[in-house]
Structure 1
Protein backbone atom coordinates (compact mmCIF):
# COMPACT_ATOMS: atom_id res chain seq x y z
CA UNK A 1 0.00 0.00 0.00
CA UNK A 2 1.36 3.39 -0.98
CA UNK A 3 1.66 6.36 1.37
CA UNK A 4 0.44 9.67 -0.04
CA UNK A 5 2.68 12.56 0.97
CA UNK A 6 2.27 16.26 0.38
CA UNK A 7 5.21 18.55 1.06
CA UNK A 8 5.03 22.29 1.57
CA UNK A 9 7.55 24.48 -0.23
CA UNK A 10 11.09 23.82 1.07
CA UNK A 11 9.87 21.10 3.46
CA UNK A 12 12.13 18.10 4.01
CA UNK A 13 11.35 14.45 4.60
CA UNK A 14 13.48 11.41 5.36
CA UNK A 15 12.67 8.35 3.27
CA UNK A 16 14.89 5.39 4.06
CA UNK A 17 18.38 6.80 4.39
CA UNK A 18 17.72 9.75 2.06
CA UNK A 19 16.69 13.30 2.83
CA UNK A 20 14.34 14.76 0.23
CA UNK A 21 14.03 18.55 0.10
CA UNK A 22 11.11 20.06 -1.76
CA UNK A 23 11.54 23.04 -4.08
CA UNK A 24 9.53 26.26 -3.89
CA UNK A 25 6.15 24.68 -4.77
CA UNK A 26 3.89 22.15 -3.08
CA UNK A 27 4.60 18.60 -4.13
CA UNK A 28 2.51 15.43 -3.92
CA UNK A 29 3.82 11.93 -4.40
CA UNK A 30 3.35 8.32 -3.38
CA UNK A 31 5.88 6.26 -1.45
CA UNK A 32 5.66 2.54 -2.07
CA UNK A 33 7.57 -0.08 -0.14
CA UNK A 34 7.53 -2.26 2.93
CA UNK A 35 9.12 -1.14 6.19
CA UNK A 36 10.68 2.02 4.76
CA UNK A 37 11.33 4.56 7.52
CA UNK A 38 9.64 7.87 6.73
CA UNK A 39 9.92 11.00 8.88
CA UNK A 40 8.57 14.44 8.11
CA UNK A 41 10.70 17.42 9.00
CA UNK A 42 8.35 18.41 11.85
CA UNK A 43 8.94 14.99 13.47
CA UNK A 44 12.74 15.08 13.23
CA UNK A 45 14.89 15.98 16.23
CA UNK A 46 18.59 16.75 15.91
CA UNK A 47 21.24 16.49 18.62
CA UNK A 48 20.99 20.29 18.90
CA UNK A 49 17.22 20.31 19.42
CA UNK A 50 17.16 17.29 21.76
CA UNK A 51 17.66 19.49 24.82
CA UNK A 52 15.72 17.57 27.50
CA UNK A 53 15.89 13.97 28.77
CA UNK A 54 12.64 12.98 27.00
CA UNK A 55 13.81 14.55 23.74
CA UNK A 56 17.08 12.62 24.02
CA UNK A 57 15.01 9.43 24.34
CA UNK A 58 13.04 10.45 21.24
CA UNK A 59 16.30 11.09 19.38
CA UNK A 60 17.64 7.64 20.32
CA UNK A 61 14.40 5.99 19.13
CA UNK A 62 14.46 8.11 15.96
CA UNK A 63 17.99 6.94 15.22
CA UNK A 64 16.87 3.33 15.77
CA UNK A 65 13.95 3.89 13.39
CA UNK A 66 16.06 5.22 10.51
CA UNK A 67 19.07 2.97 11.10
CA UNK A 68 19.70 -0.27 9.22
CA UNK A 69 21.00 -1.62 12.57
CA UNK A 70 18.73 -0.26 15.33
CA UNK A 71 20.54 -2.16 18.09
CA UNK A 72 23.45 0.30 17.89
CA UNK A 73 21.25 2.78 19.80
CA UNK A 74 19.94 0.35 22.43
CA UNK A 75 22.67 1.11 24.98
CA UNK A 76 22.13 4.86 24.73
CA UNK A 77 18.37 4.46 24.89
CA UNK A 78 18.30 2.13 27.90
CA UNK A 79 20.77 4.32 29.84
CA UNK A 80 18.56 7.36 29.21
CA UNK A 81 15.32 5.67 30.26
CA UNK A 82 16.93 4.19 33.36
CA UNK A 83 17.90 7.71 34.44
CA UNK A 84 14.41 9.05 33.70
CA UNK A 85 12.64 6.28 35.63
CA UNK A 86 15.00 6.81 38.56
CA UNK A 87 14.21 10.54 38.62
CA UNK A 88 10.52 10.31 37.65
CA UNK A 89 9.05 6.87 38.42
CA UNK A 90 5.62 8.04 37.23
CA UNK A 91 7.00 8.04 33.66
CA UNK A 92 7.32 4.23 33.76
CA UNK A 93 4.02 3.38 31.96
CA UNK A 94 5.02 5.50 28.96
CA UNK A 95 8.55 4.10 28.92
CA UNK A 96 7.21 0.57 29.22
CA UNK A 97 5.16 1.16 26.06
CA UNK A 98 8.22 2.46 24.23
CA UNK A 99 10.28 -0.53 25.43
CA UNK A 100 7.63 -3.03 24.31
CA UNK A 101 7.47 -1.49 20.85
CA UNK A 102 11.25 -1.44 20.51
CA UNK A 103 11.53 -5.09 21.55
CA UNK A 104 8.77 -6.13 19.13
CA UNK A 105 10.46 -4.18 16.31
CA UNK A 106 7.67 -1.61 15.89
CA UNK A 107 9.97 1.40 15.95
CA UNK A 108 7.44 3.76 14.36
CA UNK A 109 5.03 3.12 17.22
CA UNK A 110 7.92 3.47 19.70
CA UNK A 111 8.60 6.88 18.16
CA UNK A 112 4.95 7.88 18.62
CA UNK A 113 5.12 6.76 22.26
CA UNK A 114 8.33 8.75 22.73
CA UNK A 115 6.31 11.83 21.72
CA UNK A 116 4.00 11.04 24.66
CA UNK A 117 7.05 11.05 26.94
CA UNK A 118 7.98 14.53 25.68
CA UNK A 119 4.41 15.73 26.33
CA UNK A 120 4.52 14.22 29.84
CA UNK A 121 7.85 15.91 30.53
CA UNK A 122 6.39 19.24 29.35
CA UNK A 123 3.38 18.76 31.64
CA UNK A 124 5.60 18.04 34.65
CA UNK A 125 7.78 21.06 33.89
CA UNK A 126 4.71 23.31 33.60
CA UNK A 127 3.36 22.00 36.92
CA UNK A 128 6.72 22.61 38.58
CA UNK A 129 6.99 26.13 37.18
CA UNK A 130 3.43 26.92 38.32
CA UNK A 131 4.21 25.92 41.89
CA UNK A 132 7.79 27.22 42.01
CA UNK A 133 7.98 30.81 40.73
CA UNK A 134 11.29 31.87 39.23
CA UNK A 135 13.64 33.21 41.81
CA UNK A 136 11.97 31.26 44.63
CA UNK A 137 14.93 29.03 45.49
CA UNK A 138 13.65 28.06 48.92
CA UNK A 139 10.65 26.11 47.61
CA UNK A 140 12.71 24.22 45.01
CA UNK A 141 14.98 22.62 47.62
Structure 2
Protein backbone atom coordinates (compact mmCIF):
# COMPACT_ATOMS: atom_id res chain seq x y z
CA UNK A 1 0.00 0.00 0.00
CA UNK A 2 1.43 3.37 -0.94
CA UNK A 3 1.65 6.44 1.25
CA UNK A 4 0.20 9.63 -0.19
CA UNK A 5 2.23 12.74 0.59
CA UNK A 6 1.10 16.29 -0.01
CA UNK A 7 3.76 18.97 0.29
CA UNK A 8 2.86 22.60 0.80
CA UNK A 9 4.62 25.25 -1.29
CA UNK A 10 8.33 25.48 -0.34
CA UNK A 11 7.99 22.68 2.23
CA UNK A 12 10.90 20.28 2.73
CA UNK A 13 10.98 16.70 3.86
CA UNK A 14 13.39 13.86 4.32
CA UNK A 15 12.76 10.67 2.36
CA UNK A 16 15.38 8.06 3.12
CA UNK A 17 18.65 9.97 2.98
CA UNK A 18 17.38 12.56 0.51
CA UNK A 19 16.06 16.00 1.36
CA UNK A 20 13.17 16.94 -0.93
CA UNK A 21 12.31 20.62 -1.45
CA UNK A 22 8.98 21.54 -2.96
CA UNK A 23 8.52 24.38 -5.43
CA UNK A 24 5.95 27.15 -5.49
CA UNK A 25 2.84 24.93 -5.69
CA UNK A 26 1.35 22.18 -3.58
CA UNK A 27 2.63 18.82 -4.77
CA UNK A 28 1.18 15.37 -4.26
CA UNK A 29 3.03 12.09 -4.72
CA UNK A 30 3.09 8.52 -3.45
CA UNK A 31 5.79 6.53 -1.63
CA UNK A 32 5.62 2.91 -2.77
CA UNK A 33 8.09 1.28 -0.36
CA UNK A 34 9.13 1.46 3.31
CA UNK A 35 11.63 4.23 3.86
CA UNK A 36 12.18 6.77 6.66
CA UNK A 37 10.05 9.85 6.02
CA UNK A 38 10.10 13.06 8.06
CA UNK A 39 8.40 16.34 7.33
CA UNK A 40 10.36 19.52 7.94
CA UNK A 41 8.40 20.27 11.14
CA UNK A 42 9.35 16.86 12.58
CA UNK A 43 13.09 17.22 11.98
CA UNK A 44 15.16 18.38 14.92
CA UNK A 45 18.58 19.81 14.18
CA UNK A 46 21.44 18.94 16.51
CA UNK A 47 21.74 22.47 17.94
CA UNK A 48 18.07 22.32 18.98
CA UNK A 49 18.73 19.22 21.14
CA UNK A 50 19.44 21.49 24.11
CA UNK A 51 17.73 19.53 26.90
CA UNK A 52 17.86 15.85 27.88
CA UNK A 53 14.34 15.26 26.48
CA UNK A 54 15.28 16.92 23.20
CA UNK A 55 18.47 14.86 23.06
CA UNK A 56 16.37 11.70 23.36
CA UNK A 57 14.17 12.87 20.47
CA UNK A 58 17.23 13.72 18.37
CA UNK A 59 18.85 10.34 19.00
CA UNK A 60 15.66 8.44 18.14
CA UNK A 61 15.42 10.53 14.97
CA UNK A 62 18.99 9.47 14.09
CA UNK A 63 18.13 5.82 14.78
CA UNK A 64 15.23 6.21 12.35
CA UNK A 65 17.09 7.83 9.46
CA UNK A 66 20.55 6.28 9.92
CA UNK A 67 20.12 2.65 10.95
CA UNK A 68 23.71 1.87 9.94
CA UNK A 69 24.86 3.72 13.08
CA UNK A 70 22.03 2.48 15.28
CA UNK A 71 24.33 1.03 17.94
CA UNK A 72 26.15 4.33 18.47
CA UNK A 73 22.89 6.27 18.82
CA UNK A 74 21.34 3.56 20.99
CA UNK A 75 24.26 3.56 23.44
CA UNK A 76 24.12 7.35 23.79
CA UNK A 77 20.33 7.13 24.16
CA UNK A 78 20.72 4.81 27.19
CA UNK A 79 23.27 7.11 28.80
CA UNK A 80 20.84 10.04 28.61
CA UNK A 81 17.82 7.97 29.66
CA UNK A 82 19.61 6.79 32.81
CA UNK A 83 20.40 10.40 33.73
CA UNK A 84 16.81 11.50 33.10
CA UNK A 85 15.32 8.73 35.23
CA UNK A 86 17.74 9.45 38.09
CA UNK A 87 16.89 13.16 37.99
CA UNK A 88 13.14 12.73 37.41
CA UNK A 89 11.80 9.24 38.17
CA UNK A 90 8.31 10.38 37.15
CA UNK A 91 9.50 10.24 33.51
CA UNK A 92 9.78 6.44 33.67
CA UNK A 93 6.40 5.64 32.03
CA UNK A 94 7.14 7.90 29.05
CA UNK A 95 10.66 6.53 28.67
CA UNK A 96 9.30 2.99 28.91
CA UNK A 97 6.95 3.77 26.01
CA UNK A 98 9.83 5.17 23.96
CA UNK A 99 11.94 2.09 24.66
CA UNK A 100 9.07 -0.23 23.76
CA UNK A 101 8.74 1.45 20.35
CA UNK A 102 12.51 1.33 19.76
CA UNK A 103 12.64 -2.38 20.62
CA UNK A 104 9.95 -2.93 17.99
CA UNK A 105 11.97 -0.79 15.55
CA UNK A 106 9.03 1.61 15.33
CA UNK A 107 11.22 4.69 15.40
CA UNK A 108 8.62 7.13 14.10
CA UNK A 109 6.29 6.11 16.94
CA UNK A 110 9.22 6.42 19.38
CA UNK A 111 9.74 9.97 18.14
CA UNK A 112 6.10 10.74 18.89
CA UNK A 113 6.56 9.38 22.42
CA UNK A 114 9.73 11.45 22.77
CA UNK A 115 7.64 14.56 22.00
CA UNK A 116 5.60 13.68 25.11
CA UNK A 117 8.86 13.52 27.07
CA UNK A 118 9.83 16.99 25.82
CA UNK A 119 6.43 18.37 26.85
CA UNK A 120 6.63 16.71 30.26
CA UNK A 121 10.17 17.96 30.75
CA UNK A 122 8.91 21.50 30.14
CA UNK A 123 6.09 20.98 32.64
CA UNK A 124 8.65 19.93 35.27
CA UNK A 125 10.82 22.98 34.55
CA UNK A 126 7.79 25.29 34.72
CA UNK A 127 6.67 23.74 38.02
CA UNK A 128 10.15 24.10 39.49
CA UNK A 129 10.29 27.73 38.37
CA UNK A 130 6.88 28.43 39.91
CA UNK A 131 7.97 26.77 43.17
CA UNK A 132 11.13 28.89 43.15
CA UNK A 133 9.12 32.09 42.68
CA UNK A 134 6.78 31.09 45.52
CA UNK A 135 9.76 30.42 47.80
CA UNK A 136 11.30 33.81 46.95
CA UNK A 137 8.02 35.57 47.65
CA UNK A 138 7.73 33.80 51.03
CA UNK A 139 11.27 34.76 51.99
CA UNK A 140 10.76 38.43 51.17
CA UNK A 141 7.47 38.63 53.09
2: CA distance, partners of 1:84 / 1:58:
13
| TM-score under structure 2 length normalisation | 0.89
Aligned pairs, number: 137
Instruction: Give the corresponding residue for 1:63.
Output: 62
Q: Distance in 1 between matches of 2:96 and 2:74?
A: 14
Cα distance in structure 2, aligned partners of 1:86 and 1:37: 32
- Using the alignment, how far apart are the partners of 1:8 and 1:128 within structure 2? 39
Please list every run of at least 4 consecutive aligned residues from structure 1 whose deviation after the TM superposition is greater than 6 angstroms: none
Deviation at 1:71, TM superposition (A): 2.2
Instruction: State how far apart, in whole Å, the 2-side matches of 1:130 and 1:88 are.
Output: 17
Where does residue 44 of structure 1 map in the other structure?
A: 43
Distance 2:5 2:131 in 1: 43
Greater C-alpha Rg: 2
* RMSD, aligned CA: 2.0
Higher helix share: 2
1:29-108 superposed matches below 5 A: 29-34=29-34, 36-69=35-68, 70-108=70-108
